[in-house]
């Protein structure tokens, strides 16, 4: 059985009872960074586990070994460093291969930054589009142009390194829609959790002034 387990995006208290139980019972945990997951397991007072690191660039051989072990009946959990596997994080390749081979799977849902930001934003969330990280180079211009054309709430991720650039590019592409409401969530569930509710016409100023620390989710309303 492969259990897909969400883990906290900042606050350890957000781990679910099922997640703890699953991590306790599996034979091995497939993760991104073994140090990050090792620390989580330690904090949860779970005895040491076999940790297998897996990324999008992991070799086919390593993936094959894991899939064979699962097929033979071993129980494994897949986690990412924070949040839900496969959501702008590794997991997809393993999960799609496991599904192809009819390996039994279950999901232990939990935190994801886009959902937390969306519900906290106060922007309409009955219909929304999750676009993940803007591309770094190729396709970046098109990404923002298409975002501006959307008629539903759009959610994107950004890191501290590019938050200012991304907010400035968003301001440029929304220059003819100055009233579009924007919510910027920073450091969700952590000590410095902050939400800035603003609008497109204010974005350049927000980009200048926003605290350039931590992790960000940008929610663009209609
Ligand atoms: N799999 C994760 C999820 O389910 O949300 C996303 C991982 S992605 C590599 C990391 C990005 O998620 C960050 O750059 C940021 O945009 C967003 N993120 C993760 N944790 C966050 C937090 N505590 N506050 C705000 N944004 C966060």
Q: Say how many C-beta atoms besides its own lie within 10 A of residue 127's C-beta.
A: 9
Average pLDDT over residues 162-189: 98
pLDDT by residue (tens digit) across 87-122?
Answer: 999 999 999 999 999 999 999 999 999 999 999 999
Confidence category of residue 44, pLDDT binned at 50, 70, 90: very high
In eight-state DSSP terms, residue 47 is: P
Ligand 1 centroid–CA 172 distance in Å is 24
89 lines ligand 1 (CB under 6 A): yes
Mutate to test the pocket of ligand 1, among 9, 183, 210 (most ligand atoms within 8 A of CB): 9
User: What is the number of alpha carbons within 13 Å of residue 103 lying toward its C-beta?
Assistant: 26
Q: For residues 25 and 158, give the distance between their C-alpha atoms in angstroms, rounded to a whole number.
A: 34
- The Cα–Cα gap between 157 and 136 comes to 12
Lowest mean pLDDT among 52-56, 75-79, 217-221: 52-56
The CATH number of domain 113-220, selected from 3.40.50.2000, 2.60.200.30, 3.30.1490.190, 3.30.950.10: 3.30.950.10
Q: Which atom of ligand 1 is nearest to the CA of 86?
A: 1
pLDDT at 166: 98
pLDDT in tens, 136-166: 999 999 999 999 999 999 999 999 999 999 9
Domain ranges of the chain: 2-108, 113-220
When pLDDT is averaged across residues 126-133 and rounded to a whole number, the result is 98
Mean pLDDT of 21-47: 98
Q: What's the pTM? A: 0.97
Residue 189 class from Cβ within 10 Å (0-12 exposed, 13-18 middle, 19+ buried)? middle
pLDDT of residue 57: 87
List the alpha helices (DSSP H) in 101-195.
Answer: 113-121, 140-149, 163-173
Tell me which fold the domain 2-108 belongs to.
Cobalt-precorrin-4 Transmethylase; domain 1 (3.40.1010)
The CA 201 to ligand 1 mean position distance, Å, reads: 26
Any ligand 1 atom below 6 A from CB of 82: yes
Q: Is the CB of 187 under 6 A from ligand 1?
A: yes
Q: What is the pLDDT of residue 34?
A: 98
């Amino acid at each position: 059985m492969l259990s897909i387990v969400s883990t906290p995006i900042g606050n350890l208290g957000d781990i679910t009872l099922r997640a703890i139980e699953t991590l306790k019972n599996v034979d091995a945990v497939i993760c991104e960074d073994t140090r990050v997951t090792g620390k989580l397991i330690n904090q949860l007072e779970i005895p040491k586990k076999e940790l297998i690191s897996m990324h999008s660039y992991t070799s086919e051989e390593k993936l094959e070994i894991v899939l064979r072990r699962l097929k033979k009946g071993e129980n494994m959990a897949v986690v990412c460093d924070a949040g839900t596997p496969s959501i702008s994080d590794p997991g997809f390749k393993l999960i799609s291969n496991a599904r192809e081979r009819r390996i039994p799977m279950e999901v232990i849902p939990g935190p994801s930054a886009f959902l937390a930001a969306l519900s906290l934003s106060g922007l309409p969330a009955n219909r929304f589009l999750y676009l993940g990280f803007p591309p770094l180079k190729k396709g970046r211009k098109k990404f923002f142009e298409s975002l501006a054309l959307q008629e539903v709430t759009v959610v994107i991720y950004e890191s501290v390194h590019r938050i200012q650039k991304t907010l400035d590019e968003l301001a440029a592409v929304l220059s003819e829609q100055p009233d579009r409401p924007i919510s910027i969530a920073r450091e969700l569930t952590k000590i410095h959790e902050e939400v800035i509710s603003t609008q497109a016409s204010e974005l350049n100023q927000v980009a200048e002034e926003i605290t350039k620390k931590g992790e960000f989710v940008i929610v663009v309303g209609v």
